[in-house]
Amino acid sequence: MKGKVQTALNKLRTALQADGGDIELVDVTGEGVVKVRLKGACAGCPMSQMTLANFVEQNLKKEVPEVKKVEAVL
C-alpha cells in the first residue's frame, strides 16, 4: 500500500509546490493511517490542516481506498 500512497502523493505534490509547499510521506500504518510531513510554505501555513483534510486526505482516499486517515507529523 505504501507504493500506491506514494504514487498518489506525487500527483498531489505539484499543486502544493505551486504554492511554495511540499509533502513527504513518513509512514503508512497497517490500520490505513498515512503519516506525512508538510514542508516549505505548507509547514507554517495556518490553513495547512484544512489543506490536509480537504485536499490531501480526500484525494488519497479516492486513489487508495485502504487509506482511513491522514495525519501530519513534525
Alpha carbon 42 to chain centroid, angstroms: 11
Q: Percent of the chain scored above 70 by pLDDT?
A: 100
- Sign of the CA dihedral running 46, 55, 24, 16: negative
Domain boundaries, given as residue ranges, for the chain: 2-72
pLDDT: which is higher, 19 or 34 = 34
To the nearest whole percent, how much of the chain has pLDDT over 90? Answer: 88
CATH architecture of 2-72: 2-Layer Sandwich (3.30)
Find out whether 55 and 15 touch, Cβ atoms under 8 Å: yes
Coil, helix or strand at residue 65: coil
pTM confidence score: 0.91
